[in-house]
Amino acid sequence: MFPISLLALGVLVGISDGQLVSNCTDLDTNACILFHKAKPNLCSIQTYSADSCKRFCGNCPLQCYACPTPVLDPNDCNTTTSCGTGEKCLTKHLMAPDGHHEYIMMCGTADICQGTSLGFQSSIFGKRALVDEPDNNSHQRYERDILISCCDTDFCNMPTVATTFLPTPPAPSMPTTATTYLTPLGPLSHGCNRDIVFVLDASGSVGSSNFRRALNFVKDIVRQLDIGPAKAQVAMATFSTQTDIHWYLNRHMSKQDLLAAVGNVPYHSGSTHTGDALKAIREQVFTQSHGDRQLAKNVVIVLTDGKSNNRLETIKEAQTLHLISDDVISIGVGAGIDMKEIQTIATDNHHVFDLQSYSALHTISSDLMRIICNA
């Protein structure tokens, strides 16, 4: 007997906060999660799979924004569509050399999500130019043109944009600087119940100032998440000569506690044993006793500024980690990284970020959030 009756949950049908909702929904997704824990064969029961937990059981078509012709402002896209089997919501974001932005929103097949068909008149795709170029060619390495994002929750392909605001005029002795805020233009996701592990490079080449910038970046991401046992859970590890797991997924269940914990992570210096860190995440963090949830996707975010001490071991551990983690995101910072190694750590090229400095971390916040919650 379930603790909550479906009849009681029925009053929730049709309630909306003004955002778009799918016409194929669960009565209450959180309740479906609870029901599934008590009854693992939930989705094999017709009552649930075809009615009460239809979307939870994967029996609803995905709903996406649909503007196949490029628009300059994502807010101008107000048409939607139902995707076909195997398709995801897709956004193609063109960052033109003259500074203007264009967006295509649609359902996408696997080949489009991998960049085979772009829809823009450009030969370069992804978050940077193709990495067949030498690593020392920093101008080409950091060139950006088209960003392709695919996600798998209803209406998740409404992009975010960066808006620049000038602050209140400062005192005469203070310089005036602009601040960039990442502003969501639509619903990022419905729930984002992910098991997320941040893995930060704390080796000697990073330095204490950059390590503090990395922690502040983690805080920025955490502030955008809903934290809780049925929402997002976050673990933290740092690595240098050794790997330190500072807390597991089930340790901090409130955003306030989590932010405080991030602020207290120490910097240790040392060499760069990336492979050991990936192994520790797989063997120690993604375990049921430490909070890993069967129904929540696993996300690993690796942030590093250098080559690992054992490249072959790092590649081996990354490939093994891919078997249990839905999304492994790698963020390489600076000129000292091994670009091919960074790519191998990540799930695919669309899970790779290539930055010139730790000061640029804030520029990828919205793209990273989209991958975390919707990939």
Residues 6+ apart with CB under 8 A from 211: 200, 202, 267
Q: Is there a single domain that holds both residue 78 and residue 126?
A: yes
pLDDT of residue 160: 59
State mean pLDDT over 52-76. Answer: 85
pLDDT of residue 164: 34
**Range in 67-76, 136-145, 204-213 with the lowest mean pLDDT:** 136-145
| Cα R_g (the chain), whole angstroms | 21
- Model confidence at 144, pLDDT cuts 50, 70, 90, reads very low
Q: Domain boundary residue among 117, 133, 165?
A: 165
pLDDT of residue 163: 36
Identify the domain containing residue 42 by its residue range: 17-60
Q: Is there a single domain that holds both residue 243 and residue 301?
A: yes
Q: Is there a single domain that holds both residue 225 and residue 313?
A: yes
Q: Is there a single domain that holds both residue 131 and residue 54?
A: no
Q: Is there a single domain that holds both residue 214 and residue 338?
A: yes
Q: How many CB atoms lie within 10 A of CB 7?
A: 9
Q: Is there a single domain that holds both residue 49 and residue 73?
A: no
Q: Is there a single domain that holds both residue 149 and residue 71?
A: yes
Which has more pLDDT, 48 or 266?
266
Q: Is there a single domain that holds both residue 46 and residue 142?
A: no
**Range in 13-27, 68-82, 188-202, 350-364 with the lowest mean pLDDT:** 13-27
State mean pLDDT over 84-100. Answer: 81
Number of structural domains (the chain) is 3
Which has more pLDDT, 298 or 76?
298
pLDDT of residue 136: 43
Measure the CA–CA gap between 155 and 24, rounded to whole angstroms. Answer: 13
Q: Is there a single domain that holds both residue 195 and residue 311?
A: yes
Q: Is residue 122 part of a domain?
A: yes
pLDDT mean across residues, the chain: 78
**Range in 68-77, 130-139, 342-351 with the lowest mean pLDDT:** 130-139
Query: Taking 80 as the threshold, does the pLDDT of residue 341 lie above it?
Result: yes
Measure the CA–CA gap between 371 and 106, rounded to whole angstroms. Answer: 17
Query: Taking 50 as the threshold, does the pLDDT of residue 126 lie above it?
Result: no
Query: Domain containing 261 — which CATH number?
Result: 3.40.50.410
**Start-to-end C-alpha separation, the chain:** 34
Q: Is there a single domain that holds both residue 41 and residue 86?
A: no
Q: Is there a single domain that holds both residue 154 and residue 143?
A: yes
pLDDT of residue 206: 96
Measure the CA–CA gap between 375 and 370, rounded to whole angstroms. Answer: 7
Query: Domain containing 107 — which CATH number?
Result: 2.10.60
Overall pTM surpassing 0.85 (yes/no): no
Q: Is there a single domain that holds both residue 161 and residue 198?
A: no
pLDDT of residue 25: 76
Q: Is residue 42 part of a domain?
A: yes
Q: Domain boundary residue among 31, 60, 89?
A: 60
Digit-coded pLDDT (tens) for 147-201: 777 777 778 887 755 433 333 344 444 333 333 333 333 334 345 889 999 999 9
State mean pLDDT over 277-287. Answer: 97
- Model confidence at 216, pLDDT cuts 50, 70, 90, reads very high
Q: Is residue 179 part of a domain?
A: no
